[in-house]
Amino acid sequence: MGTYGDDGNSLVLRQRLMWRGYDAEIVRITLEDAVPDSCDVYTVGGGEDAAQKLASRHLSASPGLQRAVERGAPVLAICAGMQVFGEWFVVSDGSRAPGLGLLDVTTSPQATRSIGELVVAPQVDGLTQPLTGFENHMGATVLGPDAAPLGRVTSGVGNGVPAGQSVPAGGLGEGVVQGSIIATYMHGPVLARNPELADLLLCRALGVDSLPPVEVPAVERLRRERIAAARR
């Protein structure tokens, strides 16, 4: 799935590897392809209900991703990808569609759609800078005891609240971290906006503690602009 440009996340990972002298290949998976279990890092994007259900069925029938998660391969899941990785998600006709069960989360509708800039204070070791992205979703994702939030919302909605429920006393969480999976509602693509997150995934894929720094002034200008826009 990549309706909202989320396939750009793989391009960012490849480029940041190439800047550091690594060879990198993007393996694109369609509904006609078996899902390999041998990739070093996986990215899954967002999509509409029909695409979600198709993706869930295909990933269930060809469980290479699940085997990769079992061995600890890093995975980034965006929006609908996060929902598909959960136990179940509710689609537009009100029915529940089964997920892959890789994340201890469930997703049901919010009262209103969340659209706009999103800023998050991360709660993951290795992430020190605010995360920024664009959210566009109707789902409210509730975390179970085995899942932890990626961070806390400082501007925007994030994981949201199911219709008829109140915002938790501790505020809104955003995203999910469980095992080797990092999931979020942030589009952007999120890795173009958040190079620290991109490098965290790459470090995990390469089995290293750190990578040589890469300075991209345009990215820093973009981050400042988007964070300021979200907080206005």
Q: Which residues are catalytic?
A: 79, 187
- Return the amino acid letter for 171: G
113 has binding-site annotation: yes
- Sign of dihedral through CA atoms 46, 49, 51, 54? positive
Pairing between strand 88-90 and 105-122? Answer: parallel
What DSSP string describes 136-165? EEEEEEEE-TT-B-SEEEEES-TT---TT-
Helix, coil or strand: residue 75: strand
Residue corresponding to tokens 């990785």: 85
Closest by alpha carbon to 191, among 51, 65, 74, 78?
A: 78
Return the H-helix or E-strand segment holding 225. Answer: helix 217-231
Q: How far apart are CA 55 and CA 57, in angstroms?
A: 5
Asked if the peptide bond before residue 189 counts as cis, ω within 30 degrees of 0, the response is: yes
Return the H-helix or E-strand segment holding 60. Answer: helix 49-61
Q: Radius of gyration over alpha carbons of the chain, in Å?
A: 17
Q: How far apart are CA 72 and CA 59, in angstroms?
A: 17
Provide the annotated binding site: 113
List, as residue ranges, the binding site for substrate. Answer: 113
